[in-house]
Amino acid sequence: MTTGSTAAARRARRDSAQTMIRDGVSLVAGALLTSAVGVAAWIVAARLLPQEQVGQASAFVSGFLLVAGLGDLGLGAALLRWVPRAGRLRTALIARCYALVLAGSLAAACVVLVLPTGDEITESLPRFSTAAFLFASVAWAMFQFQDAVLISLGRARWMPYENAAIGVARVGVLALAGPAFGAAGILLSWIAPALAGVAVVSVLVCRVLTRERPPDTAEPVLPDRREVLRLLVPTYPAKVTSSLLTDLVPLLVIGRFGPAPGAVFFLVWMAGNTVDYAAISFAQSVIVRIAHEPHRTRELFALGGRRLAAVFVPALVLAVLIAHPLLSVFGGDYASQGTWLLRLVLLGCLPRLVVTLVAAAGIAHGRGRLVAMLEGSSALGVLAVVAVVPVSHLALTGLGFVVVQSVVAAAAVVALWRWVRSAKTEGGTA
């Protein structure tokens, strides 16, 4: 290889790594902006309403967010692969996926309502709870699914504006409706902006599909049944268990500990979910880059790990130190009851970063079973902790979260080491 070609290869590798980091940081910034607006809405709710009403509303919200995570059937991520190959058939593909998400979210909402946690969901709206829950579940499932539709159509640049507009609308509706309708006002602040967002984005998607010519493809292809199963079977269980960890845990806490302590837990858990959401957003850039250059997995994984640690570890340590002032913005009762719980949840997010990064490498290499095992162990472990912790010691759920995430992170490192070693032995890439 000549000196010139060697230098060009080095520049290409450097540019690729820089692209991964730049995209990852941009995704983290977008995730944090979206989360910050959401936190602002809950600050308004905590300041306007009694703690018990906040807890009842948070159960309803956790319920339909759980349905939104289950109801897309894994099709959101699948569209990123399928739409670019569909060509002129993309309209039919997207329409079918919309119909499946609609059916899936309705089915998931019915299942969630008949579970024991359904009682906590319906308490905030005694008269119209079932209809409102079905409505909210479908609205948020479609709203979240549309993000993948926009990305698949090359319109990812619209997403920050969409999410920011929805967040600002939530705060405005809550400020107006919260004092008048109590917990129902919180729910209205979630449902009304989501419906508006679905309507607006649906119109924009239709305009793109009808007015813009799809990219030229040699032969437009729709996925057959075999491809659908091969892609969704390993990835959907991981998505399900991730949704259980994010949204079912607060429901169980509210059911066991009551709505007032549940409100404290929900706000603390939301902080942990914000960290997780931002870390997963960063990991998406790692997935894309490793998928393009699998022979550089170890190099890109190490680079991603260093940058992930540089961004998140100092922020988490600082947040642990100032946990009491952070919770004080919601009110004195939240700070006095939840400071130690917040510190423990944030500490548990440190080993969770390792799990997220190893899962990203697994997705990039199509190791869906590894990802499902890591996410499943994490979710089931935390659910078990919530089920056995005494109701007088809410902070112990945070300690359990730290222990579970540390054990799963250790298992992830062992699995990664075995994977890399086996790849070396077989002469493949890791």
Which whole number is the average pLDDT over 154-175? 76
Helix/strand/coil for 134:
helix
* Sign, CA torsion 256/49/160/83: positive
Higher pLDDT, 297 or 336: 336
Which whole number is the average pLDDT over 373-402? 87
Confidence (pLDDT) at 395: 86
Which whole number is the average pLDDT over 254-260? 82
Which whole number is the average pLDDT over 299-309? 81
Which whole number is the average pLDDT over 360-383? 80
Confidence (pLDDT) at 12: 57
Which whole number is the average pLDDT over 239-262? 82
Q: Are the beta carbons of 134 and 106 closer than 8 angstroms?
A: yes
Q: For residue 384, is pLDDT > 60?
A: yes
Helix/strand/coil for 293:
coil
End-to-end CA distance of the chain: 25
Q: For residue 403, is pLDDT > 90?
A: yes
Which whole number is the average pLDDT over 354-372? 79
Hunting for tokens 């996410």 — which residue is that?
375
Rounded distance between C-alpha atoms, residue 394 and residue 386, angstroms? 9
Confidence (pLDDT) at 29: 61
pLDDT of 57-102, one tens digit each?
788 888 888 888 888 887 776 776 677 777 777 788 888 888 998 9
Confidence (pLDDT) at 133: 84
Confidence (pLDDT) at 156: 65
Task: At 243, give phi and psi (nearest 5°).
Answer: -65, -35
Higher pLDDT, 196 or 12: 196
pLDDT of 280-301, one tens digit each?
777 766 766 666 667 777 777 7
pLDDT of 22-49, one tens digit each?
555 555 665 666 667 677 777 777 777 7
Q: Are the beta carbons of 79 and 97 closer than 8 angstroms?
A: yes
**Which of 94, 88, 198 has its CA nearest to residue 137?**
198
Q: Are the beta carbons of 141 and 67 closer than 8 angstroms?
A: yes
Rounded distance between C-alpha atoms, residue 240 and residue 376, angstroms? 9
Cβ count near 128 (within 10 Å): 11
Helix/strand/coil for 241:
helix
List of long-range contacts for 106-110, beta carbons under 8 Å, 24+ apart: 106/71, 106/134, 106/137, 106/138, 107/71, 108/66, 108/67, 108/70, 108/71, 108/137, 108/141, 109/64, 109/67, 109/71, 109/133, 109/134, 109/137, 109/138, 110/134
Contacts of 58 (CB under 8 A, 6+ apart): 250, 254, 262, 263, 266, 267
Rounded distance between C-alpha atoms, residue 184 and residue 73, angstroms? 29
Q: For residue 169, is pLDDT > 70?
A: yes
Confidence (pLDDT) at 15: 57
Q: What percent of the chain has pLDDT over 70?
A: 79
pLDDT of 206-228, one tens digit each?
887 777 776 655 567 677 777 67
Higher pLDDT, 424 or 40: 40
Q: What is the pTM (predicted TM-score) of this model? A: 0.74
